[in-house]
Amino acid sequence: MIGRIKLSDIIFSFSRALDFINPVMTNHHIRVAIIAGEIARQYGMPNNEIANIFLASTLHDIGAFSLKDRLDTLDFEIQNPQSHADKGYLLLKNTDFDLLSDVAKIIRFHHLPWADGKGAYFEGESVHIGSHIIHLADRIEVLIDRQRYVLNQVREISDMIKTKAGSVFVPDVLKVFEELSQKEYFWLDAASPEIDQIIHDRNALPDVELTIEELLKIGRLFSHIIDYRSRFTSVHSAGVSAVATLLAQMIGFSEIECRMMSIAGYLHDIGKLAVPAEILEKPAKLSVEEFNVMKSHVYHSYRILEAVSGLDIINTWASFHHERMDGKGYPFHIRGNELPIGSRIMAVSDVLTAITEDRPYRKGMTGEEALRIIEDMAKNNSLDKSIVDVASTYFRHLNDVRLDAQLRAGEEYVAVRQFMD
């Protein structure tokens, strides 16, 4: 049913998706991981620490949801960096996943200046050296001009970094960087398009297989990154996940299939990371051109999830949510019997949830109004009638479960929002 899913596959695919928010910085997270991992290794850190630093690097700007946040991080002298670092920390801490608890702490201080030693502590607590290593790796990556050949930039980048010795960067870590910067491979790796090969060669992440519970936690974590890009969608995936899971249960899916459905619900819109915020937040109906861009989100969801082996079924349930029974959906135009039941459940759950939510150009409808709409869509052979019938029969319960899930998700959103400026 569900294949063996490796942590490293998920992290690499999702880490790349994180960079969709800012297309100028394709693979920024992984490039920082490659640089930071190498510095940590030369610094003589044990393998498990290198793995934590590598993992933290692949997710370090997870708390920078908007393009503005992302563009700000590109400025070498970044203003107010703590806000996105705090948000990232909170998100990871709230996932309550052991493997990510050290990573959360490392990410929290990935912009903390060394301040001649004061940066070894924050409010009395010691700061992981990995935070300082990522800080350095991140600033190096930002300084590399992607339009120019990397080896011709070594001198100027090194000089720039050196001006911050002691004040921003840890002198001992800088020593390691200076040695590495003499070696061409260090820079060629940092700028190489052969990311997969380098990652494979470094073997930097532990070969951990995820349990379904852990996958659920990672799914929830990413649902926040997807949803928090716009306050209008801030609890969307939580609602879709809850509705889809309950419908699957009512239709007779097994317990494990229901869990898979929850995960698919959390991730169904992961491709929206590739849709610009101006389109997500546009206070009017989308133009044809804008809608064309919006349509791509399901295609991207499919490609992101496809890169993770073992997720095949979850992928079809998640990424076919805009396919329709009559074949008039998108982007694959799969019709009727060829659409897996799980995908049809997701389609119903997505419409039902989305139309109860406010959008910049319209108010959300009541649950009952939303039910009318999906009933009409079933009549027109757009949504699966048998699933819509189940939704109608148990509508009260379904709607309560949705409201409750979205209410709880809203509380979490408010807690993270306090760090937004």
Distances (CA, A) of 305 to 137, 162, 361: 28, 41, 30
Decide if residue 227 touches Fe ion (CB under 5 A): no
Residue 336 Cα to chain centre, angstroms:
31
Task: Select 11 or 64, whichever has its Cβ closest to Fe ion.
Answer: 64
- Which 341-360 positions form the footprint of Fe ion (CB under 5 A)? 350
Task: Select 141 or 269, whichever has its Cβ closest to Fe ion.
Answer: 269
Task: Select 6 or 222, whichever has its Cβ closest to Fe ion.
Answer: 222
Give the C-alpha separation, 339 to 347, whole Å: 10
Residue 420 tokens read as 């937004």
Per-position b or e across 31-40, b if 16+ CB within 10 A of its CB: bbbbbbbbbb
Nearest-approach distance from CB 183 to Fe ion, in angstroms: 26
Give the C-alpha separation, 226 to 218, whole Å: 12
Decide if residue 73 touches Fe ion (CB under 5 A): yes
Nearest-approach distance from CB 220 to Fe ion, in angstroms: 15
Task: Select 185 or 361, whichever has its Cβ closest to Fe ion.
Answer: 361
Q: Which stretch binds Fe ion (CB under 5 A): 7-15, 60-68, 177-185, 398-406?
A: 60-68
- Binding string, residues 258-287; x marks residues near Fe ion by CB under 5 A: -----------x------------------
Residue labelled with tokens 């997270």: 29
Task: Select 95 or 239, whichever has its Cβ closest to Fe ion.
Answer: 239
Cβ pair 405, 241 in contact under 8 A: yes
Q: Which stretch binds Fe ion (CB under 5 A): 36-44, 72-80, 305-313, 383-391?
A: 72-80
Give the C-alpha separation, 35 to 176, whole Å: 12
CA dihedral 202, 204, 208, 214 (to 10 degrees): -130
Helical H segments across 97-183, by residue range? 98-108, 129-143, 154-162, 171-181
Decide if residue 257 touches Fe ion (CB under 5 A): no
Contact residue for Fe ion among 19, 38, 49, 61 (CB under 5 A): 61
Q: How many residues bind to Fe ion according to rule CB under 5 A? A: 4
Nearest-approach distance from CB 107 to Fe ion, in angstroms: 8
- Which 93-122 positions form the footprint of Fe ion (CB under 5 A)? none
Nearest-approach distance from CB 237 to Fe ion, in angstroms: 7
Residue 224 tokens read as 């926040």
Tally of CA atoms within 13 A in the half-sphere of 335 that contains its CB: 4
Nearest-approach distance from CB 83 to Fe ion, in angstroms: 10
Task: Select 102 or 350, whichever has its Cβ closest to Fe ion.
Answer: 350
Report which of 325, 331, 307 is spatially closest to residue 381, judged by C-alpha positions.
Answer: 325
Residue 107 Cα to chain centre, angstroms:
15
Task: Select 359 or 385, whichever has its Cβ closest to Fe ion.
Answer: 359
Residues in contact with Fe ion by CB under 5 A are 61, 73, 269, 350
